Structure formats: structure tokens, C-alpha cells
């Protein structure tokens, strides 16, 4: 692993502060002792089977808890259930229909409140709408929506009829959407006219139109009216959501689905240019997200107001806005917009307004709040908060302490939760009533999760740094990569025999605490979003003026990593008219604004080994302003000097 990662960890280890669960937390916490850990250690499968029967309602009990043929697992085999029944009907049947499911807040300040009974009504109607458009069990439905309640409705409606959803984050470009629709061969696309962001309407339907001009599988488009922007509707193909809902049959019984029925595909970046459709199925996934939402966030559905600030377009939104909290019958906040509209205190205004008790957000957001200063949260009464969560990237101790002090008022435990799109749910995290935390450490695997750090040779490391692996199957694990079982095996199971390799570096300290060190592959983590260097490189070379491109993730104080690109143009050294700004816009059009490089350096050459391999380590050194490491294997050492000169001359920023 790179030296800078060891430096980081050395700093962390100097961090001696520990935070035992406070008394006011242990008094009411769902878990206050090690019984769950002991139970899982004694009987892994039995542990998960008991969680599945306690937390999930089944139409038919399973025959086999787990079928494990490495690397493919099946959970609760033979069991049947309906995921939307678990998230909606069972709460209404238990007399909790009037309980608020979603307090929705639009960015302009408009609000909607949806109870569980109302959600159930919407979901049944929309399930019938989908059926009416020809969607059948096993089909795929694409969702490309802003953060509106209809996103949750659409996902649950798919689950209700056994169609798999594939949600594409609204910030992705039409090209990215088209690729994902094609790969999944989706029949229906659900989108909106537009949504609100930074005080303005961003159009979605035009991007969707561009995408489906090239996607033969889409038969119908359903359009939610949100932005009010003018859109073109194609007769027979495009339908307004509200028109279809008005005439939809209000009853759609929840039919039992096989435990292994495909629930959703979610595309994520890998180390090649082609995104992977991560497959998640029903019974095991629901068990894991219900269990983790309940115990990691210590959910008390009668009193808690949960707020996960992620977008539904990412796995965090799938597991901890839609499925986990709703399966637990929790009340939650869903917010449409950015944290700085109209002011830098918008999040804190929302916390105060709804009395949020559990807040789950990302380190990038926390570091941005730090920049805006403690006076922003100080404008609001945040005393309702009792628990804080972090996800998406390593949280540095300084950000952890700031979160603890200025948001948590020094009284709220912080759960730093490590997991991935592939794991389905949280894997490594404190339990708030049990675990003594250390700022910056995700602490220990949850009960039922077995993680080990190994060295290059795959030997277990008990103290020190290495690679994070998972050694036992878990119910929420990905079932594969859509259409590409070989890539699934190759990506996750080939580096170390019999181990799932997560792609992350990690270190165990003397007390056995886990510290995540970031990705060790060519995947970057920008503001908690995964983007592969190859994907951005492919986007760059698809520009006619670009001959070659190399992309690296450089450490950034706010976004964790920032995308830095080095480009050789066809016109030669000075770009022949191609500007860095044009190329940034081109990447945004190809992938989406989130993948726009922070800086692009147009260069006559790239540092390569004699065998022609680009030396990314050197490029990272240049991007991070470090003096060169070992350049002896370079074919032409002067290239690096030239790059350094160009970097020093032209600082580029968003
Ligand atoms: O590198 C790890 C980082 O995010 C990656 C997973 O990204 P994604 O599939 O997009 O899911 C993000 C939300 C679960 C991981 O491989 N990561 C996620 N959570 C943490 C983290 N790194 C350190 N600490 C975390 N708590």
C-alpha cells in the first residue's frame, strides 16, 4: 500500500480519545451487551435465521438457511415473502397506518407528509399502473428521479409485483442512463420533468429523452410532475404519473415472491470502464437491512425521526431510506435539495423543524459544514438528536470530533458504518449501546459479519495494515453482476482464495479496532461516490481531440479525493485548440457532473514504464504536490519534470 496511507494511520493511532456509550444511551438502547455477538459467533447461520424470523414476515418459511457454493450464495431458500408487504402492509395491519412514513421537504420549502396507509395506497395504485404498462414479474424498470416520494413509491411498487428496479442517480448524464437501461434491458422508465437543486429546476426529462432515443427496450415512460418545466411528451409512449394514478385500481395484493427473486440492480463503478449491475435479491437483503437499520441506529419506531441524507440513487438511499427504515416502520425525513439552499444552515433547520433524532450523513458533508463554521448549526435547536451516523468514506478524526461536538452537542454516539453497494447493508460499525468508539475507526464487524485483514500473501493480520476481506457469506451480499458471472468471480473472489475482497485497505490497532484506509484499486472515492479512473479516461478519450488520458484520485481536504486528469491531445503539446474546460464539460456529458475532473493538465507526454504502463503513482505524487518517488523505471524522466512545471503554473479549480 502507498506510504501516505500508512502516514494517515500513524496519525490516527496517535488518537487516544475513546468514547464509551453514554449512560442516557445505554438506559434505552435495544442492545446493551454482547449477547448478539456471542450468538453469531456460536452459530452463524442460526443467528441469521433467527433475525430473519424475528424481523421479516414470510408467506412461507424457508427450507434451507443458506446455500453456499463459493462465490454464489442463496439465502432462506424455498421461503417466500413480499418486500413491499414488509415495508407497508404489515404496519397498517398492526394499526399503525396513521403513522408518518415520510416527512418530505422540497428544496423550495414545500412539504408533503405521507403516512404508512397513504404510502400503501400509492404503492398499490402504482403497482397496477406498472402492470397496465405490461410490466411483469422478472422484468426490469429504470428509475431516474429527483428526491421525491415517488422514488420510494416506484421502488416499492416494483417490489410488490416482482419487477426489479434499476435506479440511476439523477445527476448522471443521458449517456450513463442509456448504458444502464441497455445493460438491464429495462421495459419502462420512470422519470420526472425536473427537480430542484440550488434554487433552480434541473431538467430530467430531456436527458431521459436523449437516452431512450438509443434504448430499444423501453416501451413506456412515466413522468412525475415536479419541476414544472416544459417537456415534450411522445404520444403513446410517455404518460404523466398523475394521469395514470387517477384511474389506477387502488388494490394490488402483495403476492409472495421467492426469497431469491431479484429485487434490484444498482450500477456501480469497477476498475474497468463498464459499470457493474450489482444484483440484490429479496429475503436475505431485507433481513440484513432491517436488522442493521434497527440495531445500528437503535431505532425506536414510536419516538425516532430518522434522517438519511443520501440520494435514493445510491445504495445508501436504497437500504437506509427505503427498505431498512420502512421495514422497521420508522418515521423519516426525505429532503430534495442541497445543504446550502437558501442558507448554509438548511440541514439544521430541517433537524429542528422535524425533531430529527438520528442523522445519517457523509464525511464530505461534515467537512463542508466545518468550513461553513459552527455558527450555522448554532442557529438551531439540535437537542432532539441522539445518535449520529457516517458513511461512504473514511471519516478523519478531526471531522468526527467536529460532528460529535457541534452537531451532537457532545452527547450523541457516532456510528461510522462501513459497507458497499455489494454488501447490501452495513457490515462494520459500532452498536451505539455497546461499543466504545474511537474517532475515525469503524470499530468492529457487526454480529453475523466476519471480516479479516490479510497481507499480500493472503495471510491473516491481527495487528497492522493490509486488505479488508470477508470470510463468510452474509444474507445481503450481492448475488452477482448482471449478465456477467465471470466478472463477479474475477472482481471479488480471485485476489485471495475463499475470501471476498472489498477493494479497501484496512488496519487493525492493538485493541482490535478496524480503521478503513480507502480504496487500494483504481476506484476513486469522490465525496463518497465511487468513480473508476478507467471510466473517466474512457470518457476523455471519446473526445475527438484527445489521444491519451490518465486519471488519478488525489487527496482533497473536502471531497476525500479529487479527480485529476492528464491528457495528451491529438494536436500535440498545447492542445491545438482543445481546452481543459471543454474536456471537463465533455466528461460531464458522458458520465455526469460528479465525474468532472477538478483539474485537467494538457501535456505532451505521460510518465510510462519501459513496457508502456502509465505510472499512476507518479501522477498522484505530482497531483498532490509531493516530491517524486522512485523514477528509475521511467522510460523518460523528463516527462515528470514537465508535468510538475505545468501543475505549478496552472492551478485549476471548479
Ligand atoms: O471504500 C469504501 C467506502 O466506500 C466504498 C463503497 O462505495 P459504495 O458502494 O458507493 O457504497 C457507499 C455507501 C455504502 C467502500 O469500498 N466506504 C463506505 N463506507 C465507509 C467507507 N470507507 C471508510 N469508512 C466507511 N464508513
State yes or no: pLDDT of 263 exceeds 60. Answer: yes
State how far the alpha carbon of 80 is from the alpha carbons of 56, 85, 108, 165, 510, in Å. Answer: 11, 12, 42, 19, 45
pTM here? 0.92
Domain-wise residue ranges, the chain: 23-54+94-437, 527-649
State yes or no: pLDDT of 402 exceeds 80. Answer: yes
pLDDT at residue number 520: 87
Atom number, ligand 1, closest to the C-alpha of residue 502: 16
Average pLDDT, the chain: 93
Q: CB of 430 closer than 6 A to ligand 1?
A: no
In this prediction, what percent of the chain has a pLDDT beyond 70?
95
Chain-centroid distance of CA 342 in Å reads 26
Q: Give the separation between CA 398 and CA 388, rounded to whole angstroms.
A: 15
Domain 527-649 CATH class label: alpha beta
Q: Give the separation between CA 643 and CA 623, rounded to whole angstroms.
A: 9
- The SS3 call for residue 449 is coil
CA angle 308, 309, 313 (to 5 degrees): 100
Residue in 415, 418, 451 with CA at minimum distance from that of residue 431: 415
The torsion of the CA quartet 383, 389, 392, 397, rounded to 10 degrees, works out to 80
Give the distance (Å) from ligand 1 centre to CA of residue 464: 20
Residue in 49, 25, 53 with CA at minimum distance from that of residue 39: 49
Q: If you average pLDDT over residues 602-624, what whole number do you get?
A: 84
pLDDT at residue number 641: 81
Q: CB of 394 closer than 6 A to ligand 1?
A: yes
Are 281 and 260 within 8 A, CB to CB?
A: yes
Q: CB of 363 closer than 6 A to ligand 1?
A: no
- Cα atoms in the Cβ-side hemisphere of radius 13 Å centred on 654: 14
124 vs 531, higher pLDDT: 124
**In the numeric block, which cell numbers belong to residue 25?**
444511551
Residue in 603, 613, 609 with CA at minimum distance from that of residue 643: 603
Taking only the tens place, the pLDDT of each residue in 518-574 is 888 888 999 988 898 888 998 999 999 998 899 999 999 999 999 999 999 987 555
State yes or no: pLDDT of 98 exceeds 70. Answer: yes
Point out the least confidently predicted range of 322-336, 483-497, 610-624. Answer: 610-624
Return the residue whose CA atom lies nearest to atom 13 of ligand 1. Answer: 392
DSSP state of 548: E
Taking only the tens place, the pLDDT of each residue in 158-206 is 999 999 999 999 999 999 999 999 999 999 999 999 999 999 999 999 9
Q: Give the separation between CA 83 and CA 286, rounded to whole angstroms.
A: 7
- The SS3 call for residue 100 is strand
Q: If you average pLDDT over residues 306-311, what whole number do you get?
A: 98
643 vs 199, higher pLDDT: 199
State yes or no: pLDDT of 6 exceeds 60. Answer: no
Q: CB of 527 closer than 6 A to ligand 1?
A: no
Give the distance (Å) from ligand 1 centre to CA of residue 528: 7
Q: Give the separation between CA 132 and CA 151, rounded to whole angstroms.
A: 19
Taking only the tens place, the pLDDT of each residue in 58-86 is 999 999 999 999 999 999 999 999 999 99
Give the distance (Å) from ligand 1 centre to CA of residue 80: 31
Q: Give the separation between CA 31 and CA 19, rounded to whole angstroms.
A: 17
CATH homologous superfamily, domain 23-54+94-437: ANL, N-terminal domain (3.40.50.12780)
Q: Give the separation between CA 312 and CA 501, rounded to whole angstroms.
A: 26
What are the helix (H) ranges across 273-355?
283-296, 315-317, 324-327, 346-354
Considering only CA atoms, give the Rg of the chain: 24
Mutate to test the pocket of ligand 1, among 414, 426, 500, 516 (most ligand atoms within 8 A of CB): 516
Q: Do domains 23-54+94-437 and 527-649 have the same CATH topology?
A: no
Give the distance (Å) from ligand 1 centre to CA of residue 472: 19
pLDDT at residue number 638: 80
Amino acid at each position: 500500500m502507498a506510504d501516505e496511507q500508512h502516514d494517515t494511520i500513524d496519525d490516527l493511532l496517535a488518537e487516544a480519545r475513546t468514547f464509551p456509550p453514554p449512560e442516557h444511551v445505554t438506559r434505552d438502547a435495544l442492545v446493551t451487551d454482547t449477547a448478539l455477538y456471542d450468538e453469531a459467533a456460536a452459530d452463524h447461520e442460526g443467528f441469521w435465521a433467527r433475525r430473519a424470523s424475528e424481523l421479516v414476515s414470510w408467506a412461507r418459511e424457508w427450507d434451507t438457511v443458506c446455500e453456499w457454493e463459493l462465490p454464489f450464495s442463496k439465502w432462506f431458500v424455498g421461503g417466500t415473502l413480499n418486500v413491499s408487504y414488509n415495508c407497508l402492509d404489515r404496519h397498517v395491519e398492526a394499526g399503525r397506518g396513521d403513522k408518518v412514513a415520510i416527512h418530505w421537504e422540497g428544496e423550495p420549502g414545500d412539504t408533503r407528509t405521507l403516512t404508512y396507509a397513504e404510502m400503501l395506497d400509492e404503492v398499490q395504485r402504482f403497482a397496477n399502473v406498472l402492470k397496465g404498462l405490461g410490466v411483469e414479474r422478472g422484468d426490469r424498470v429504470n428509475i431516474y428521479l429527483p428526491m421525491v416520494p415517488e422514488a420510494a413509491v416506484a421502488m416499492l411498487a416494483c417490489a410488490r409485483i416482482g419487477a426489479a428496479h434499476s435506479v440511476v442517480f439523477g445527476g448522471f448524464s443521458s449517456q450513463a442512463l442509456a448504458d444502464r437501461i441497455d445493460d438491464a434491458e429495462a421495459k419502462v422508465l420512470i422519470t420526472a420533468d425536473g427537480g430542484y437543486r440550488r434554487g433552480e429546476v434541473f431538467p430530467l426529462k430531456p436527458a431521459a429523452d436523449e437516452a431512450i432515443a438509443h434504448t430499444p427496450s423501453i416501451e413506456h415512460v412515466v413522468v412525475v410532475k415536479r419541476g414544472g418545466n416544459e417537456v415534450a411528451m411522445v404520444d403513446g409512449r410517455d404518460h404523466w404519473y398523475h394521469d395514470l394514478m387517477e384511474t389506477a385500481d387502488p388494490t394490488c395484493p402483495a403476492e409472495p415472491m421467492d426469497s431469491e427473486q431479484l429485487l434490484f440492480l444498482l450500477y456501480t463503478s469497477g476498475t474497468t470502464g463498464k459499470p457493474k449491475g450489482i444484483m440484490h435479491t429479496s429475503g436475505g437483503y431485507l433481513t440484513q437491512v432491517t436488522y442493521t437499520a434497527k440495531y445500528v441506529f437503535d431505532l425506536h419506531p414510536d419516538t425516532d425521526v430518522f434522517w438519511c441524507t443520501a440520494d435514493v440513487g445510491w445504495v445508501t438511499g436504497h437500504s437506509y431510506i427505503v427498505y431498512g427504515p420502512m421495514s422497521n416502520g420508522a418515521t423519516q425525513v426525505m429532503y430534495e435539495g442541497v445543504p446550502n439552499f437558501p442558507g448554509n444552515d438548511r440541514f439544521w433547520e430541517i433537524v429542528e423543524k422535524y425533531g430529527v433524532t438520528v442523522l445519517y450523513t457523509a464525511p464530505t458533508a461534515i467537512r463542508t459544514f466545518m468550513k461553513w463554521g459552527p455558527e450555522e448549526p448554532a442557529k438551531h435547536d439540535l437537542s432532539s438528536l441522539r445518535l449520529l451516523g457516517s458513511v461512504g468514506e473514511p471519516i478523519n478524526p478531526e471531522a468526527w470530533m467536529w460532528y460529535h461536538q457541534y452537531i451532537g452537542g457532545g452527547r450523541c454516539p457516532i456510528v461510522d458504518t462501513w459497507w458497499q453497494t455489494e454488501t447490501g447493508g452495513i457490515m462494520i460499525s459500532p452498536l451505539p449501546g455497546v461499543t466504545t468508539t474511537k474517532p475515525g475507526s469503524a470499530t468492529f464487524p457487526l454480529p453475523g459479519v466476519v471480516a479479516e485483514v490479510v497481507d499480500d500473501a493472503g495471510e491473516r493480520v491481527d495487528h497492522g495494515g493490509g486488505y479488508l476481506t470477508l470470510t463468510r457469506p452474509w444474507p445481503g451480499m450481492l448475488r452477482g453482476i448482471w449478465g456477467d458471472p465471470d466478472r463477479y468471480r474475477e472482481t471479488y473472489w480471485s485476489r485471495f482464495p475463499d475470501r471476498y475482497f472489498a477493494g479497501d485497505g484496512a488496519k487493525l490497532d492493538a485493541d482490535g479496532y478496524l480503521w478503513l484506509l480507502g480504496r487500494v484499486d483504481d476506484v476513486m472515492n469522490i465525496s463518497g461516490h465511487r468513480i473508476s479512473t478507467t471510466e473517466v479516461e474512457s470518457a476523455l478519450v471519446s473526445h475527438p481531440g484527445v489521444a491519451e488520458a490518465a486519471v488519478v484520485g488525489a487527496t482533497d481536504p473536502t471531497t476525500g479525493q479529487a479527480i485529476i486528469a492528464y491528457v495528451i491531445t491529438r494536436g500535440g503539446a498545447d492542445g491545438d485548440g482543445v481546452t481543459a474546460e471543454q474536456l471537463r464539460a465533455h466528461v460531464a456529458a458522458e458520465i455526469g457532473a460528479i465525474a468532472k475532473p477538478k483539474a485537467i493538465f494538457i501535456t505532451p507526454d505521460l510518465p510510462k514504464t519501459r513496457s508502456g504502463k502509465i505510472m499512476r503513482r507518479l501522477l498522484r505524487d505530482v497531483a498532490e504536490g509531493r516530491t517524486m518517488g522512485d523514477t528509475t523505471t521511467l522510460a523518460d524522466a523528463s516527462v515528470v519534470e514537465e508535468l510538475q512545471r505545468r501543475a505549478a503554473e496552472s492551478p485549476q479549480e471548479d
